[in-house]
Structure 1
Amino acid sequence: MKQLIYIFFVITLFSACTSRSDKEIDTSAIDVKVKIKRLEQELFSLQSKESVKNFLDNNQVFTKQFLQAEQYPHDSLLVNSVYQLVTDTSIHVLLNETREEFADLRYLEQEFTDAFKHIKYYYPDFKVPQIQTVVTGLANDMYVSDSLIIISLDFFLGDSATYRPQFPQYVLKRYRKEYIVPSVILLLSKKYNLINPADRTLLGEMIFYGKAFEFTKYMMPSKHDSLIIGYTGDQLAESDTNRNVIWGHFIEKKLLYETSHFIKIKYVDERPYTAEIGSKAPGAIGRWLGWEIVKAYMQEEKPNLQNLMKNQDAQRIFTQSKYKGKS
């Protein structure tokens, strides 16, 4: 389940991105305690290839999944690669900045604890995964599975970092520490977000994203919508103000049931803006619209979260939402 996260800014507070009190629940009796293991401390204390090999052998999931050991024809190549990493002086610049910026991870542990308590409230069988941090020299940003989460902290140092990931600015601005936990929860939502594999429509993809954002909001109800969807406060406010224009475009162009990959990616993939609508329409506007439809569905039908997430019928969700833009 490893994937590049399109994630993470000072948020301007707008009504569109405030918390929604209907998602506040009492989780005080739920027993969850998160303790993050800082792998970077051990990793960068290694001083020989033999010690690197022992470290990799003792951290098999990290080695196989995060470092993708299978892509190396021989174990020695991976050992050499990691040894070069831990002895690279430029990487040590990032390491020192990471140690300073993330000197104390108690706030992250508390955010994860609160979010996991919410997941366990809605899904009692949820097993809390281990969480580890690392510094990779901007090689891999994050790994998320049911049992283990690995976060490369150097990706999330923010604008003051000496080195930054080589992403476009509209993506890079979201690689900040306030986005770490929402991004992990968004990825964890995939396990619960059932889809109809036969539905190849743009609407189907929009509803998938909408359900994922709604799941994350339920698990982190006090988080601003902007930290969940990755828009700025201004972008959320603009989208809300111009929802009739956005909706009208989707209807006029008959986009909801579009199945062409090349057309769909214009509305759900990362872009600086959605040029087909206008320069002020954020990229991936179809994801935003999908969330708006899901919000309307939740208000109209009032299903519980579990029923929403296992509902594979995007058309039914859309129809019952009665969504038609802003009235």
Structure 2
Amino acid sequence: MKKIYCIFFLLIIAFSCKKEDQIESEIAKVEVDFLVERFDRAFAEATPKDLNQLKETFPFLFSKHVPDSVFIARMTDTLQNELLDQVDKKFNNFSDIENDITRLFQHLKYYDVTFSEPRVVTLTNDVKYRDKVIVTDTIVLIPLDNYLGEDHEYYMNIPKYITQNMKPSQIVSNLASEYAKRYTFQSQKKTLLDDMIYFGKQLYFKDKMTPFMSDEEKIGYTTSQLEFAKANEAQIWTNFIENEYLYSTDSSLPGRFIADAPFSKFYLQLDRESPGRLGQYIGWQIVRAYMNNNDITFLEMMKKDAVEIFNKSNYKPPK
């Protein structure tokens, strides 16, 4: 009997993989039309007489409340020129990232027929790393000075848990995160479970939109951090259940388990071995379980209530 169950289980997996391969083959044929516009290079090469042309081409980057003299001063500013030079060296060839943006847009267009490709513009933003990328209906802005590499000298005063994701491989992951927010419904934000499922939905969105990326890249963990989360998933879940965290409205819980942080805060000896955002990771696994155990499209799932997703997920962490 066990042998029959094993064969049946393997057949289900094989069928699912074949179906996914067929979908990915269809997605690869989706036509997208966009160009990566390198404003950073255009500005680096510009002289004051080129300013009006730049303003005409990129009007959304020039505030009417800022006089031209400010932009002209930036053109000759030593620090700005050094920053632009570092960006140009790091991103002299942008083709790999552009290819991944193309693949992301193909997936968005396949799953959402209303999606229209935006203008994609690269620039510098004085290393305002909290504004990783900016997404609107018509424009995507990518500040490349936020992705010069985790050990770059410009990032020496930024915490390590943040700089570990300030590298080129995170550009498309962050872009997918911004799109995920636009598709994610959250009826309330009261409990830890609400936040866990909210971010779990967004990470599952990446599963569907960026299947060419690793789980480490999707969640922004190092390999060892992801291995910790996997190895300790059952213990983390037990801790949440025993402490009755899921439906708690304790305002400290999101800071301990959801927010970006150097580590999660169980107030145990192993805390400093753990990565931050383990609540997001568990939420991701719950959403994955829900999708595996229910006949529903992922865009329909993105609109479901957190409690419904949890109750119908039959989530059980691996022992």
In the superposition, the TM-score normalised over structure 2's length comes to: 0.85
1:231-283 deviation digits (Å, cap 9, x = unpaired):
11111111111111100111111111122322322111111111325222211
Ranges in structure 1 where 5+ consecutive residues have no aligned partner: 1-19, 64-68
Identity %: 27
Asked if the contact 1:206–1:286 (Cα under 8 Å) also holds between the matched residues in 2, the reply is yes
Q: Given the alignment, which residue of 231, 240, 244 partners 1:241? A: 231
- Where in structure 2 are the equivalents of 1:58-69 lying within 5 Å? 58-63=57-62, 69=63
Q: CA deviation at 1:123?
A: 0.8
Match of 1:127 in 2: 116
Match of 1:200 in 2: 190
1:37-57 deviation digits (Å, cap 9, x = unpaired):
001122123333x75466345
Q: Matched residues in 2 for 1:187 and 1:286: separation?
A: 19
Match of 2:252 in 1: 262
| Residue 36 in structure 1 maps to residue 27 in structure 2 | no
Asked if the contact 2:132–2:174 (Cα under 8 Å) also holds between the matched residues in 1, the reply is no
Q: Secondary structure at the match of 2:312?
A: helix
Q: CA deviation at 1:285?
A: 0.9
Q: CA deviation at 1:220?
A: 1.1
Tell me which amino acid in the other structure corresponds to 2:39: L
Q: Given the alignment, which residue of 155, 163, 166 partners 1:172? A: 163
Match of 2:212 in 1: 222
| Residue 94 in structure 1 maps to residue 83 in structure 2 | yes
Q: Given the alignment, which residue of 181, 206, 216 partners 1:190? A: 181
Q: Matched residues in 2 for 1:165 and 1:117: separation?
A: 37
Q: Given the alignment, which residue of 86, 103, 123 partners 1:114? A: 103
Asked if the contact 1:34–1:109 (Cα under 8 Å) also holds between the matched residues in 2, the reply is no
Quote the RMSD (CA, aligned, Å): 2.2
Q: Matched residues in 2 for 1:281 and 1:257: separation?
A: 23
Asked if the contact 2:150–2:165 (Cα under 8 Å) also holds between the matched residues in 1, the reply is no
Asked if the contact 2:257–2:264 (Cα under 8 Å) also holds between the matched residues in 1, the reply is yes
Asked if the contact 1:23–1:218 (Cα under 8 Å) also holds between the matched residues in 2, the reply is no
Tell me which amino acid in the other structure corresponds to 2:38: R
Alpha-carbon spacing, 1:167–1:56, altered in 2? closer, same or farther (3 Å): farther
Q: CA deviation at 1:161?
A: 3.6
Q: CA deviation at 1:195?
A: 1.4
Q: Matched residues in 2 for 1:186 and 1:239: separation?
A: 20
| Residue 145 in structure 1 maps to residue 144 in structure 2 | no
1:95-120 deviation digits (Å, cap 9, x = unpaired):
22221221122212211111111111
1:260-310 deviation digits (Å, cap 9, x = unpaired):
322322111111111325222211111111001111111111422111112
Q: CA deviation at 1:226?
A: 0.6
Asked if the contact 2:180–2:202 (Cα under 8 Å) also holds between the matched residues in 1, the reply is yes
Tell me which amino acid in the other structure corresponds to 1:286: G
Q: CA deviation at 1:135?
A: 2.2
Moved more, 51-60 or 110-119: 51-60
In the superposition, the TM-score normalised over structure 1's length comes to: 0.83
Match of 2:222 in 1: 232
Q: Given the alignment, which residue of 283, 286, 292 partners 1:293? A: 286
Aligned length: 295
| Residue 157 in structure 1 maps to residue 156 in structure 2 | no
Which has the higher relative contact order, 1 or 2, with Cα contacts under 8 A spaced 6 or more apart?
1
Q: Secondary structure at the match of 1:291?
A: helix
Q: CA deviation at 1:62?
A: 2.6
Q: Secondary structure at the match of 2:45?
A: coil
| Residue 325 in structure 1 maps to residue 314 in structure 2 | no
Asked if the contact 2:44–2:75 (Cα under 8 Å) also holds between the matched residues in 1, the reply is yes
Tell me which amino acid in the other structure corresponds to 2:162: V
Q: Matched residues in 1 for 2:259 and 2:205: separation?
A: 20
Asked if the contact 1:34–1:112 (Cα under 8 Å) also holds between the matched residues in 2, the reply is no
Q: Secondary structure at the match of 1:261?
A: coil
Alpha-carbon spacing, 1:243–1:271, altered in 2? closer, same or farther (3 Å): same
Q: Matched residues in 1 for 2:43 and 2:176: separation?
A: 26
Asked if the contact 1:186–1:216 (Cα under 8 Å) also holds between the matched residues in 2, the reply is yes
Bigger-Rg structure (1/2): 2
Ranges in structure 2 where 5+ consecutive residues have no aligned partner: 1-15
Q: Secondary structure at the match of 2:134?
A: strand
Q: CA deviation at 1:218?
A: 0.7
